[in-house]
Structure 1
Amino acid sequence: MSTPNATLRAVRLGLLMSQDEFARAVRDAGQRSGQPNEATKRLVQRWESGETAAPRPVYARALEMVTGLPIESLGFAAPVPQVRVTDDGHGGHDLQDSPVGIPAAGGQSTAQAAPRGNYSGIWLSTYEYFSSGRDSTFTGKHYVVLLQHGNRLTGRSLPQGSLNPDSPLTLDLQVDGGIITGTWTEQTASEGYYRGARYFGAIQMLVEPTGRRMAGKWVGFGKEFDVNTGPWELRFMDADTSKATIAKYNKAPE
């Protein structure tokens, strides 16, 4: 059986697009780039269901234009990227090609236990990081759509659902009972302090017994090859991922 591409679906929902609208955007991107394609709703369904494991290059380029993310961050197979470190303390690598993330931290067993519950829905993500360049601690907040398939949990922030506009956040996580382990990637705002740099790192959290809050820490590398870390939590907002509910949270968190 094919494994559904929950990452791509989370990204599409985060963009507030139906499958029809997403297919149209892919076609429009192909026209703008001079590489027309014939994307349809059915093709989007094949991508999201896992029936088509990897898009052809003409579609891959259009998908990157529509989502603003490299193809390997959309749930498709891709090679490991080359990176260079330019961070001033934000906590990650500045990717020159495309972010895949780093191996999950925490030393968990490769045997996967059944997930304690289904965590699909809209969550408020909050993390803290220290900026050595500004000698101060800052908070990042995003409304994130999480989608779960089996033990895999993928997430994408909403277009306007962050304190800093134009800073999409993606999460690729594994559920092992009450333990959540995986990777994060954030594209910083092009007009912000980090000037559009893309960062990634690892994350591990514990789920509270209520299933309405996950809390733990992120880890990433700094410019001096030091390892930075800080607190990160996800707080449950709504189980509904319909277009109307997503639109309600498509705003900057308070």
Structure 2
Amino acid sequence: MTTPNSTLRAVRKGLLLSQDEFARALREAGQRVGEPNDASKRLVQRWESGGIAAPRQAYARALEIVTGVPIEALGFSAPVPLARVADDGHGGHDLQDSPTGVPVASGSPTPQAAPRGNYSGIWLSTYEFVSSGRDNRVFTGKHYVVLLQHGNRLTGRSLPNASLNANSPLTLDLQLDGSTVTGTWTEQTAQDGYYRGARYFGAIQMLVEPTGRRMAGKWVGFGKEFDVNTGPWELRLMDADTGKATLDSYNRPPEA
């Protein structure tokens, strides 16, 4: 008798993806990281039914990228361990505080520099934004985000119940170049919140501190009136462990 993988099924449904759409997303993820795969609806069905106990490494990496969840926490009975980037120390700019609280660099990054260290773990994401519809008041968004590293790519997804302002899932798609982190962000606001389920997205660029435990920079995004907004954003490492027990402990709203 096989045991169905209800965890993987729940994660897929939480992403609002059909089995066919999930398979397509896995293929696209494999293409992006240079590891093409042949994920299909039938394969997803076999995973979820328990017919396949563990995915091959190429599929495991694609699963982590698409779900934002470490393979160990996706319900497979015998997950394939992934080769993580070796932790050979952290490098980066000499950072100093700027008047706005976002660090500035004293030097320039080396073009196409190799990533240093492994930044996989649970990070506290904090950003600030101005709400024009609420007298231009400044608000703070916070999420506990699972960040996973594959080579020089970082993918992040907030834990299901880990948003400060109701249920507003956040995803990050980033690339490392030495101590510079550049990429995109997407947030789906809560249906019953102030923004009534609106989807916001934009770009982000941050610098990694020499300790490797903090990234800070700025986001850019579009407002309701077709204006371009920006504000500070930082990520702070809370725990390098991405095991199920640790994920469960951070699956809660951050403190205000």
Seq. identity, %: 71
Matched, 1:230 2:231: yes
* Structure 2 residue matching 1:211: 3-state secondary structure: coil
Q: CA deviation at 1:143?
A: 0.3
Q: CA deviation at 1:226?
A: 1.6
AA matched with 2:131: S
Q: CA deviation at 1:150?
A: 0.4
Q: Does the CA-based 8 Å contact 2:109-2:177 persist in structure 1?
A: no
AA matched with 2:55: Q
* Structure 2 residue matching 1:133: 3-state secondary structure: helix
Aligned equivalents of 1:22 and 1:191: distance in 2?
Answer: 26
- 1:76 match: none
Report the CA distance shift for 1:217/1:24 in structure 2 as closer, same or farther (over 3 A). Answer: closer
Q: CA deviation at 1:116?
A: 1.8
AA matched with 2:185: W
**Structure 1 segments unaligned to the other structure (5+ residues):** 1-18, 55-107
Once the two structures are superposed, the pairs formed by residues 107-146 of structure 1 within 5 Å of their partners are: 112-135=112-135, 136-146=137-147
CA-to-aligned-CA distance 1:49-78 (integer Å, 9 cap, x gap): 449x99xxxxxxxxxxxxxxxxxxxxxxxx
Once the two structures are superposed, the pairs formed by residues 72-221 of structure 1 within 5 Å of their partners are: 112-135=112-135, 136-221=137-222
**Structure 2 segments unaligned to the other structure (5+ residues):** 20-40, 67-107
Matched, 1:38 2:45: yes
Aligned equivalents of 2:110 and 2:173: distance in 1?
Answer: 16
AA matched with 1:21: S
Q: CA deviation at 1:242?
A: 0.2
Give the TM-score, by structure 1 length. Answer: 0.63
Aligned equivalents of 1:149 and 1:157: distance in 2?
Answer: 18
Q: Does the CA-based 8 Å contact 1:213-1:234 persist in structure 2?
A: yes
* Structure 2 residue matching 1:171: 3-state secondary structure: strand
Aligned positions, number: 178
Aligned equivalents of 2:147 and 2:53: distance in 1?
Answer: 23
- 2:60 match: 48
Report the CA distance shift for 1:215/1:24 in structure 2 as closer, same or farther (over 3 A). Answer: closer
Aligned equivalents of 2:18 and 2:220: distance in 1?
Answer: 37
* Structure 2 residue matching 1:38: 3-state secondary structure: helix
More RCO (CA 8 Å, sep 6+): 1
Q: Does the CA-based 8 Å contact 1:23-1:39 persist in structure 2?
A: no
AA matched with 1:124: L
Q: CA deviation at 1:22?
A: 3.5
Structure 1 segments of 4+ aligned residues over 4 angstroms from their partners: 108-111
Q: CA deviation at 1:127?
A: 0.2
AA matched with 1:129: F
Q: CA deviation at 1:234?
A: 0.2
CA-to-aligned-CA distance 1:1-27 (integer Å, 9 cap, x gap): xxxxxxxxxxxxxxxxxx933444459
* Structure 2 residue matching 1:127: 3-state secondary structure: strand
* Structure 1 residue matching 2:55: 3-state secondary structure: helix
Matched, 1:20 2:5: yes
Q: Does the CA-based 8 Å contact 1:169-1:185 persist in structure 2?
A: yes
- Alpha-carbon RMSD across the aligned residues, in angstroms, is 3.1
AA matched with 1:38: Q
* Structure 1 residue matching 2:134: 3-state secondary structure: coil
Q: Does the CA-based 8 Å contact 2:109-2:178 persist in structure 1?
A: no
